[in-house]
Amino acid sequence: MDKGEFYDFMLSVITDMERQGRYSTAHVYYCALQSAMGYGGYSLRIEELNPVWLGHYQEHLLRQALMWNTISTYMRMLRAVYNRAVDMGLAPYIPRQFKNVFTGRHTNRQRALKKEEIRLALLERVDTENDNFPSESETAAPCTLRDLDWARACLELMLRFHGIPFVDLAHLRKVDLRNGYLTIRRHKTGMPLSIAVDAAAMKLLRRYASDDPSSPYLLNILNGRLSGKEAYKDYQQALRMLNLQLYRLSRACRLGKRLSSYTARHSWATIAKSRGISVEVISEALGHASISTTEGYLKQFDNDEIEKANRVIINYIFKK
């Protein structure tokens, strides 16, 4: 393998991640690799990843109408691989190489729901007869149908459990539930969480409980008999189905915004902020490793004030 060729080197990094069982991270890196190769070609060499190339690559991604957060993800993956190549002496060090491309996070205001929208999504009867989506029989999972009711249950449980991500909900273990509390560690950060389970949440847990006595999982979302890469694929399939059903739900409810697996987390955080709960408490409840991550979720409140001020100015200028 020619280590000077970017494709071969990044693919070796991805292979190492898979050997370590880091399938989710490896998948993101592979998506970034495919994107970079689609622009730069498979003959692209590590030393060619200079600021000029990166700038042109970002323009290419913008022309493809990619979201800023997707662009940021690709750039951060390329930066991590480039830094590893520098450490191994395979690429020259270029100071502030990624300065002029986006590697931050763009706050998505459409992820959070207001109280009324949450109640509409969870409680109102919806008509999906003419939505042209797969039938319930086509979306069947082992022992349960992954239908709108299932998606609503997942959304409600994530909201009731401090806005935990779907990956943590899906991987809840039977041993995590003791004496009315869930005691878990975040899948992503390893941060510990203790969550009280109220009567409504307990009812949902029982309704969607795993009926496989050999499965370690509390809920009937994942196949407890799988391991390694097959287990990761099983989770990805469940995540895709959740997002499909939540999208159906958002259309049926005419919310004007798309529901996704991120909705509960962002909604919980933004509502908590609006009710005067401190950022420090919100951060701990979400299981964030850093309060700066939490602040990234909540920047939209500052944007609301800016937009309100702008409307005052625009109305002053243009309204007669």
Written in H, E and C, the secondary structure of 205-260 is HHHCECCCCCCCECECCCCCCCCHHHHHHHHHHHHHHHHHHHHHHHHHHCCCCCCC
The residue ranking higher by pLDDT, 118 or 305, is: 118
My answer on whether 186 and 151 are in the same domain is: yes
Contact 153, 204 (CB under 8 A): yes
Question: Does the pLDDT at position 58 exceed 90?
Answer: yes
Handedness of CA 204, 263, 191, 198 (dihedral sign): negative
Question: Does the pLDDT at position 142 exceed 50?
Answer: no
Identity at 294, one-letter amino acid code: T
pLDDT digits (tens, 9 = 90+) for 235-253: 999 999 999 999 999 999 9
Decide if 310 is inside a domain.
no
Question: Does the pLDDT at position 299 exceed 90?
Answer: no
Contact 122, 156 (CB under 8 A): yes
The residue ranking higher by pLDDT, 309 or 57, is: 57
My answer on whether 135 and 38 are in the same domain is: no
Mean pLDDT for 287-299 is 71
Quickly tell me which residue has 């029982």 as its tokens: 206
My answer on whether 56 and 199 are in the same domain is: no
CA contacts within 13 A on the Cβ side of 305 = 5
Decide if 269 is inside a domain.
yes
The residue ranking higher by pLDDT, 135 or 197, is: 197
CA distance 35 to 32: 5
My answer on whether 69 and 213 are in the same domain is: no
My answer on whether 117 and 218 are in the same domain is: yes
The residue ranking higher by pLDDT, 274 or 97, is: 97
> What letters, b where the CB count within 10 A reaches 16 and e where it falls short, cover 55-93?
eebbebbeeeebeeeebbbbbbbbbebbebbeeeebbee
User: Exposed/middle/buried for 264, CB within 10 Å: 0-12, 13-18, 19+?
Assistant: buried
Question: Does the pLDDT at position 77 exceed 60?
Answer: yes
Q: Phi and psi for 217 in degrees, rounded to 5?
A: -85, 145
pLDDT of residue 84: 95
Contact 75, 31 (CB under 8 A): no
The residue ranking higher by pLDDT, 265 or 171, is: 171
Mean pLDDT for 202-224 is 96
pLDDT of residue 316: 65
My answer on whether 148 and 267 are in the same domain is: yes
Decide if 93 is inside a domain.
no
Q: Which residues span the domain enclosing 251?
A: 109-303
My answer on whether 139 and 282 are in the same domain is: yes
Question: Does the pLDDT at position 23 exceed 80?
Answer: yes
